[in-house]
Structure 1
């Protein structure tokens, strides 16, 4: 029975399991994002008052790019394979560059950039804790 914070920490699953849950949560978010991008492409929803075919070519290209990349990265994250993590981090970095270096085309989104940096930092922390726990068990 959990009666204190220390009991909660001691009864948690291994960090590797927590990391898998985290990656799958990110995968679900990416699936949602990918579906929204595809809904824009096929004309179910508009974005900022514009239908896909009325958008500038630069925006159309970005939407198609992320429509594919989100679903590919989500698949890799759900399967917990290394390329999934690489695709997800690549996707985050592309969004960060898009909303900083090319903010005149795509707009500034400081909250979105902060979200991407935070999710990558949490991933790094979970990997560190998992490795630390694995070293403690083997050595």
Structure 2
């Protein structure tokens, strides 16, 4: 029976399992985002009062780019393969650059940028903890 925080820490699964759960949670979010992007492209959902064919070309390009990238990254993260993590990190950095360096085209979204940086930091922490746990188990 878990009666304290220490008991919870001692009975947790290995960090590698926690990392897999985390990556699959991110994969579900990316899959949902990719489906929303595709819904915009085919005309099911409008965005900020505009249909896809009425949007500026730069925004159309970004939507198509992330519609494909989100589903590819989601697949890779769900399968827990290295290229999935690389695609997800690439996607995060593209969004960050898009909403900072090119904010005049795509708008400023500080909460979204904070979310991406936070998810990357959590990933880095879990990867570090998993590596440390694997090194302790090996020797």
Range class of TM-score, shorter chain:
over 0.9
C-alpha separation in 2, matches of 1:23 and 1:14: 15
SS in 2 for 1:3: coil
1:22 aligns with 2:22: yes
Deviations 1:77-109 (A, max 9, x none): 000000000000000000000000000000000
TM-score (norm 2): 1.00
Deviations 1:32-75 (A, max 9, x none): 00000000000000000000000000000000000000000000
Find the counterpart in structure 2 of residue 87 from structure 1. 87
1:1-139 equivalences in 2 (<5 Å): 1-139=1-139
C-alpha separation in 2, matches of 1:136 and 1:122: 21
Aligned residues: 139
C-alpha separation in 2, matches of 1:27 and 1:34: 10
C-alpha separation in 2, matches of 1:37 and 1:45: 9
5+ residue gaps, structure 1, are none
5+ residue gaps, structure 2, are none
C-alpha separation in 1, matches of 2:110 and 2:5: 34
Task: Return the offset for 1:128.
Answer: 0.2
TM-score (norm 1): 1.00
C-alpha separation in 2, matches of 1:17 and 1:45: 36
C-alpha separation in 1, matches of 2:114 and 2:54: 30
Task: Return the offset for 1:2.
Answer: 0.6
Deviant stretches of 4+, over 4 Å: none
Task: Return the offset for 1:19.
Answer: 0.1
